[in-house]
A and B are shown apart, each in its own frame.
Chain A
Amino acid sequence: MLNRISTYLYLRPKLVLALLLLPPLIWFLVVYIGSLITLLINSFFSLDSFTGQIVREFTLKTYAKLFDKANLEIFGRTTLMAAVVTIACALLAFPLSYYMARFASPRVKTFLYLAVTLPLWSSYVVRVYSWKLILAQEGIVSWFANLTQLDGILAWYLKLPVVGGSSLAISYTGVFLVFVYIWLPYMIIPIQTALERVPKSLIEASGDLGAKPPQTFWNVILPLAFPGVIAGSIFTFSLTLGDFIVPQLFGKSAYTIGRAVLTFQGTSNNIPLAAAFTMGPILIMMVYLLIARRLGAFDAL
């Protein structure tokens, strides 16, 4: 019996393909793409401000609200934070990735790979929580500042506009630090992968042709590692754009995209506005992914 089924299937590769593909395809089309479509539909609905009920009629009213000054500021603020975090992650990731790809012995490399992937996979919430402990007024940063007599500098820094705040635990600096900390591994791995792929012969050729090591680095290695940076930036940028937990825990009262979406949806039950709001990061990420693909970032994933 099994043999007959087996032969039957063997002779019909298209049927087998369909059988393999259908379950995941249906799941994703229904659950994921379907959800995205309802999101799109919801964004064309509006909220009746008297009854608080969702009016299921086509309107562009909700989208028009996105262009309120306050909402444009939210987009600007979040995108800026995502960009700054991404650049900081790239700068911090590069030395470690470079060391891993070019100098580390196989054993050291395995160790470093584990050291990077462990935080990447282990708990997001706990790693955020640990910064609550570190930045707290009585926490390790203040202790260290006291110990090294740097508390004057810390106090001065906290008085600065924009980056400062009542304490590090509630300031843009805090938000920035925590974001860099949690997303850094997402940047290290793709850059390392891209650097590994730089052919050694190319580096030798560059040296043979008279380039000094810094020249080789700037003209050969860095351009070839760039797709890795882009690949990593997809994650750091996208994750920062959509996160609402870190700004809520460490930020001042100013909203980010994530917090705004959560509030619209949660407290005011305004799913249409939340949906329209989300189209912002979707659009930004779509453009980003298309550019990234053109720059060859998907090969470095």
Chain B
Amino acid sequence: MPSKKSAQPSGERASWFLKFGAIAIVLFLHIPMWLIFLYSFTTDTAAYTFPPPGFTLKWIPQALANPEMQEALSLSIRVALLSTAAALVLGTLAASAVYRSDFFGKEAISFMLILPLALPGIVTGIAMRSAISLMSIPFSFWTIVIGHATFCVVVVYNNVLARFRRSSGSMIEASMDLGANSFQTFRHIVLPNIGTALLAGAILAFSLSFDEVIVTTFTAGQQETLPIWILGQMFKPRSRPITNVTAMLVVLITALPILFAQRITAGSSDTEGETK
């Protein structure tokens, strides 16, 4: 890792201009996001007046008790949990296969797994919609889950594969030489080794699913996940204060686990957060 004291000859301290630019961009990325918190406490109910005319805590209990919000939240959590579980299994299997052997089409696997995220979300969405319509499958909780699981796989896959590549295969050989069978080796050597990668992958997959809107628009019928509910409120605001509090809640639900995921994989370069 480069440090400020690196043995560079001249001009190797960040210029004032570069530092200012870096700080400005971090602020640009963060101020809008945290502004939501301010608006959760405003007394203004009809507009988005800045600065807020006054502050109150009364919206928080009201938002939490809102039945529509509760229903959407519960749906989102259930969808995210199931998609994450499916993504964990499929992603780990794919990563193990790609790591342990060479086979024809190995490159194509990684490419195929990343495709649902690399292609515009609307492509994945309308593709699934057309499949659902062509086969006359009814929309349900499960059509949402299947869609989400598909684009979550790559996150787990990337994390686990990166961890496999960093850990040495000799441990596994040693375990087998010492008489452990494949299952014991998996349980006692492989699993502890990839444990944090799995956890980090799961957290990222969860937040990916939790705030997805584009694919969900096409795979959900009448059901509203939390992001879709918020979106509806943006087009036709009915109760701004409750939407503001819900938005804050979503930030907290996704941000805190992500900070935790980064922490448990800290020091290693296998978070692969960039390939969302």
Binding site for B on A (CB under 8 A): 2-3, 5-7, 9-10, 13, 16-17, 20-21, 23-25, 27-28, 31-36, 38-39, 41-42, 92-93, 95-96, 98-103, 105-106, 109-110, 112-134, 136, 138-140, 143, 181, 184-186, 188-190, 193, 200, 203-204, 207, 213, 234-235, 238-239, 241-245, 248-249, 257-258, 261-262, 265, 271, 274-275, 278, 281-282, 285, 289, 301
**Contact among B4, B93, B119, B120 for A21, CB-based, below 8 A:** B93
Interface residue? B73 (CB, 8 A): no
B262 touches A101 (CB 8 A): no
Closest to A8 in B: B182
Q: Answer whether residue B56 sits at the interface, using C-beta atoms and an 8 A cutoff.
A: no
Q: Known contacts A125-B211, A238-B118, A242-B122; is A181 also within 8 Å of B18 by CB?
A: no
Contact residues of B: prevailing secondary structure: helix
Residues in B neighbouring A278, C-beta threshold 8 A: 122-123, 126-127
Determine if A185 and B29 form an interchain contact, defined as CB atoms under 8 angstroms apart.
yes
Q: A residues within 8 A CB of B213?
A: 124-125, 245
* Complex alpha-carbon distance, A27 and B234, angstroms: 35
Instruction: Please determine whether A265 and B129 come into contact, CB atoms closer than 8 angstroms.
Output: yes
Please report the C-alpha to C-alpha distance between residue A121 and residue B51 in the assembled complex, in whole angstroms: 28
- When A28-B150, A92-B25, A265-B126 are in contact, do A106 and B134 touch as well, CB less than 8 Å? no
Q: Which residues of A contact B178 (CB under 8 A)?
A: none
Partner of A99, one of B14, B90, B181: B14
| B250 in contact with A123 (CB, 8 Å) | yes
**Shortest Cβ distance from B37 into A: residue:** A130
Q: Are B211 and A126 in contact (CB under 8 A)?
A: yes
Q: Is residue B266 contacting chain A, with contact meaning CB distance below 8 A?
A: yes
* B194 interface contact, C-beta 8 A: no
Give Cα distance in the complex from A39 to B150, angstroms: 17
- Asked if B22 lies at the interface with its beta carbon under 8 angstroms from chain A, I say yes
Which residues of chain A are within 8 angstroms of B273 by Cβ–Cβ distance?
117, 120-121, 189
Does B33 touch A at the CB level, under 8 Å? yes
Enumerate chain A residues within 8 angstroms of B122, measured Cβ to Cβ: 242-244, 257-258, 261-262, 278, 281
CA distance A245 to B213 in the complex (A): 9
Check if A122 sits within 8 Å of B251, measured CB to CB.
Answer: yes
Q: Which residues of chain B are within 8 angstroms of A3 by Cβ–Cβ distance?
A: 181
Nearest CB of B to A5, in Å: 8
Supposing A20-B97, A132-B48 touch, asked if A119 and B120 sit within 8 A by C-beta, the answer is no
Instruction: Among A96, A116, A281, point to the contact of B120 (Cβ < 8 A).
Output: A281
Q: Is there contact, CB below 8 Å, between A24 and B153? A: yes
B:65-116 near A, CB below 8 Å:
89-91, 93-94, 96-97, 100-101, 103, 109, 112-113, 115-116
Contacts from B to A (Cβ < 8 Å): 1-4, 6-14, 18-19, 21-22, 25-26, 28-30, 32-33, 35-36, 39, 47-51, 89-91, 93-94, 96-97, 100-101, 103, 109, 112-113, 115-116, 118-124, 126-131, 133-135, 146, 149-150, 153, 176, 181-183, 204, 207-208, 210-214, 217-218, 227, 230-231, 234-235, 243, 247, 250-251, 254-255, 258-259, 262, 266, 271, 273-276
A1 to B89, CA, bound (A): 25
Do residues B120 and A124 form an inter-chain contact, with CB atoms below 8 A? no
Say whether B33 contacts A204, CB under 8 Å: no
Chain B residues with Cβ below 8 Å from A282 are 119, 123
Q: Could you write out 6 A-B pairs with CB less than 8 Å apart?
A: A32-B127, A34-B131, A125-B231, A129-B230, A207-B9, A261-B122
Q: Assuming A23-B90, A125-B213, A249-B235, is B101 touching A119 (CB within 8 A)?
A: no
B3 CB contact (under 8 Å) in A21, A98, A106, A188: A106
Contacts of A9 in B (CB 8 A): 182
Q: Which residues of B contact A39 (CB under 8 A)?
A: 123, 126-127, 130-131
B231 touches A23 (CB 8 A): no
Known contacts A123-B250, A274-B126, A117 near B120 by CB under 8 Å: no
Residues B90 and A126 in contact, CB atoms below 8 Å apart: no
Instruction: A24-B109, A132-B48 given; name 6 further pairs at CB < 8 Å.
Output: A103-B2, A103-B14, A121-B208, A125-B213, A129-B36, A207-B9
Cβ–Cβ contact A121 & B48, under 8 A: no
Say yes or no: B116 contacts A32, CB within 8 Å: yes
Docked Cα-Cα span, A123 to B247, in Å, equals: 9
Question: Whose C-beta in chain A lies nearest to the C-beta of B147?
Answer: A31
Contact A243 B235 (CB under 8 A): no
In the complex the two chains form, what is the Cα distance from A5 to B182 in whole Å?
9
Check if A138 sits within 8 Å of B234, measured CB to CB. no
Contact of A129 among B93, B150, B247 (CB under 8 A): B247
Q: Of the candidates B25, B97, B118, B234, which one forms a contact with A17 in the assembled complex, judged by CB atoms under 8 Å apart?
A: B97
Return the 9 tightest CB-CB contacts between A and B, nearest first.
Answer: A242-B120, A6-B181, A95-B21, A189-B274, A35-B127, A123-B211, A103-B14, A242-B122, A20-B97
